[in-house]
Structure 1
Amino acid sequence: MTTTLLRIATAGSVDDGKSTLVGRLLHDAKAILADSLDDIARTSAERGFGGADGTLDLALVTDGLRAEREQGITIDVAYRYFSTDKRSFILADCPGHVQYTRNTVTGASTADAAIVLVDARNGVLEQTRRHLGVLALLRVPRLVVAVNKMDLINWDEQAFAAIETEVISLATELGIQATTVIPVSALQGDNVVEPSLSATWYTGPTLLGLLEELEPKLGGGTARLDVQYVIRPQGALAPGLDPEVYRDYRGYAGTLVDGTLNVGDRVQVLSNGQPVASRVKAISTPAGSAQSAQAGEAIVLELETDLDIARGDTIVAGELPTAQREFQANICVLDPVKLTNGQRLLIKHGTKVSAAKLSTIEHVINVADYSQQPADSLELNDLGRITLRSQAGLAIEEYASSRTGGSFLLIDPTTGRTLAAGIIEEKHEAA
């Protein structure tokens, strides 16, 4: 039985019914607490819902901010946690408006799967193409397209088939191979948790049924630990400890972000820009000593060799990525600023922070049609390609193989504000 955690992001054009779909999913999966249901019922009644059939405005499940409720739109990423008998979920409900592209990037950046809504009456719109483009850029492993409001077109099989063909063609063009299209009615609950009695021609899974069976893309690449903290003895010796062991102890704490690491494994460390080798002497976890660790676990490593390792250094099992100071990357601007050629920044890669320079803006990406246009600057919500030069060598990897090794943040060195998030699509020789 599947028990792993699945991270989901949802996206869709304005008024496609995305918040209602998420609300229906949580409601029918019995993942809403009773007091929350009471609050939703009261607010639904204030907005004209309810009556004899007790209809709820299920969009309120995720649209919790007052400004969102007043406008009837979603303006922020709303995170919800829920479980079924088969697995646990973290769901990021992303906004649909074009001016909130940065929120979609944030919500989808860690997703194992993405649900994109399409209104059955309108078909694929420009915003649909925009969201698919962002999801392709972020290499989200699995795409689920929910064709919503099928009840409003009388569950027309031919209309659904036309949308399905267009969506799969578009996803394939973008390099998204794992795509499933499901006809649903979020308002009535058809094919969300329970199969629809109105679409006898559809024999595929329900939305929840599919999500319960999807296998997340766990970190299966090279084991990598970006050192968060170096643990050294402090204070008086505790009773029963060997003074020699206590004095010489040095542990390297962090989260293993890919692969599997075992005691005895050969590792390489990028320290002060230079690779050095050692072997794993011991692994500690919150539960105690362990012989191995999996991706996602917080651990402390001890190495056989006494090395000069500090916060920000990278420990990798196997071959260490070549330290690079200059590279190209795609970024999304997250702050209301203008990024320009020659701008001085800080880059945060893993746990390492280094001074950096935005050498060149190569182009801005029009995610409505995926075209590339020349640009002298990038502003809020823009997606663009740039060349960066870091003062320190970074153990970068391609984002497709390691989300952590292939991603970074750009920070304002004066204010400390996060300006942009970036991903590395292809590496070049070290500069």
Structure 2
Amino acid sequence: VLSDELPESNCFKTFEAIDNAPEEKTRGITIHLCTVGYSTTCRHYAHTDCPGHADYIKNMIIGTSRMDAAILVVAATDGVMPQTKQHIALTKQIGVEQLIVFINKADVVDQDMLELAELEVRELLELFGYRNTPVVAGSALLALSGDQGEYGVKAIHRLLKALDEVIVQPERDDQSPFMLMVDHTYSIRGRGTVGTGVVYRGVVKKHTEIEVLGFGQRLKSNIADLEIFKKPVPFAKAGDSVGVLLRGIQYRKLRRGMTICPKKTVPMTNHFHVTLYCLTAKEGGLGEPILSTHFGHAFIHVFSSAVRLDHDQEFIMPGETVDVSVTVSKPIAILTGTRLVYRSLNGHIIGYGLVKKALKPVVLVDGRLKKAIVPPLKQEEEVAMEETQS
């Protein structure tokens, strides 16, 4: 629709161009993340297409970690599915406070079924604190074919109007030192290695000296070039989805979850203090107590890893908020206030939390989390920036 009405600032992309992996084409579902850009008359949007299928919830967590708002798509023919509740819970836990609902396939059900689908969605949104959420009913297929009816192009107009008028652009931290967590990497022959991601804070300019942190590595580099949706730019600021061309870094050394930042601005450690909330079963959590030493998976922005969780209580009950220490196998860059999602080893959501402070690294005997030498939380010491520079 936008490519027809505002062609100078919007380029049409087919479904095959967005979901282009072989399995995505075969199964007709989104598996991998894909970010596309488009503009209305008011704003420019970076839109990340996230998988909705339950098998790919990990990819969905990584996608929502970099969003200011979300569009929840529900099929009128199916209504609320089991994974819909999990998606809304994760969206809330990641810190996405703004949401719009698009009920798709509205053209193939009667009015009663459409109203029932909206009622189910609204009840679920209320449970997680999303109130007065705009709901737009339409048909993506009709809009794609250029149908001018209520469920075709007009529905997309209503959706875009809701985005422009309801979604409030959050305040950006443009004053702190630049930081970006890499979500994709690729190599340009003859030029170097590119890391893409959303600028978490600050402003970055071309030719800036930086370091790349993560997985126990500290790599020095220089930003040779910047691109936003394949257009060269002199700088990028907090909130921008940007590609960063790094000089002197081998492609195989740059990994998703690594952090790009100026030297000595972000601590790196394998151990940090987290305030964790354990979800109840009603909230979409596992609904079981956590023992004093627990092993699971943590998701921090686009980084994910097996972790060890330790706390000073005998166990944590669902619904409790407790201070814990989290240990990962390889040191990563971590900031106070960073959000974290914690899942069990078999994929159930357990809880979410906020990083209170980076702690001194702990020793892993034989490199194993089970053999980590973890002191009681009360005796833990915050890591000094100088200690992370070795």
Q: Normalised by the size of structure 1, how large is the TM-score? A: 0.46
2:341 aligned with 1:397 = no
CA contact (8 A) 2:177 2:265 kept: yes
| Alignment map for 1:348-367 (pairs within 5 Å) | 351-356=266-271
| Alignment map for 1:149-164 (pairs within 5 Å) | 149-153=105-109, 156-164=110-118
CA contact (8 A) 1:362 1:374 kept: no
What is the CA–CA distance in structure 2 between the aligned matches of 1:60 and 1:408, rounded to whole Å? 43
What is the CA–CA distance in structure 2 between the aligned matches of 1:360 and 1:388, rounded to whole Å? 9
Q: Name the residue aligned to 1:211.
A: 163
What is the CA–CA distance in structure 2 between the aligned matches of 1:378 and 1:395, rounded to whole Å? 21
Equivalent position SS for 2:83: helix
Q: Name the residue aligned to 1:388.
A: 325
Q: Name the residue aligned to 2:136.
A: 182
What is the CA–CA distance in structure 2 between the aligned matches of 1:79 and 1:356, rounded to whole Å? 32
What is the CA–CA distance in structure 2 between the aligned matches of 1:377 and 1:104, rounded to whole Å? 22
The match for 1:69 among 2, 15, 25 is 25
Quote the offset at 1:396 in angstroms.
2.2
Q: Name the residue aligned to 1:372.
A: 287
2:211 aligned with 1:257 = no
Which digits, 9 at most, give the CA deviation of each residue in 1:26-81, with x for residues without a partner?
677657657x6xxxxxxxxxxxxxxxxxxxxx532411223321332221001111
2:91 aligned with 1:135 = yes
Equivalent position SS for 2:103: strand
Q: Name the residue aligned to 1:300.
A: none
2:73 aligned with 1:117 = yes
Q: Name the residue aligned to 1:225.
A: 176
What is the CA–CA distance in structure 1 between the aligned matches of 2:51 and 2:271, rounded to whole Å? 32
What is the CA–CA distance in structure 1 between the aligned matches of 2:141 and 2:10, rounded to whole Å? 17
What is the CA–CA distance in structure 2 between the aligned matches of 1:60 and 1:379, rounded to whole Å? 32
Which digits, 9 at most, give the CA deviation of each residue in 1:348-383, with x for residues without a partner?
998221241689998687698345323543258899
What is the CA–CA distance in structure 1 between the aligned matches of 2:298 and 2:283, rounded to whole Å? 16
| Alignment map for 1:282-361 (pairs within 5 Å) | 351-356=266-271
**Number of matched pairs:** 260
What is the CA–CA distance in structure 2 between the aligned matches of 1:350 and 1:160, rounded to whole Å? 51
Change (3 A) 1:395 1:162: same
Quote the offset at 1:397 in angstroms.
3.2
CA contact (8 A) 2:139 2:151 kept: no
Q: Name the residue aligned to 1:314.
A: none
Quote the offset at 1:181 in angstroms.
1.1
What is the CA–CA distance in structure 1 between the aligned matches of 2:20 and 2:118, rounded to whole Å? 32
2:103 aligned with 1:167 = no
CA contact (8 A) 1:363 1:385 kept: no
| Alignment map for 1:72-83 (pairs within 5 Å) | 72-83=28-39
The gaps in structure 1 that reach 5 residues or longer are: 1-23, 37-57, 229-254, 259-285, 289-293, 298-333, 336-347, 420-427
The gaps in structure 2 that reach 5 residues or longer are: 180-198, 203-232, 241-255, 310-323, 341-353, 370-377, 382-390
What is the CA–CA distance in structure 2 between the aligned matches of 1:395 and 1:33, rounded to whole Å? 37
Equivalent position SS for 2:32: coil
What is the CA–CA distance in structure 2 between the aligned matches of 1:214 and 1:409, rounded to whole Å? 36
Change (3 A) 1:185 1:385: farther
The match for 2:149 among 191, 196, 201 is 196
CA RMSD of aligned residues (A): 5.4
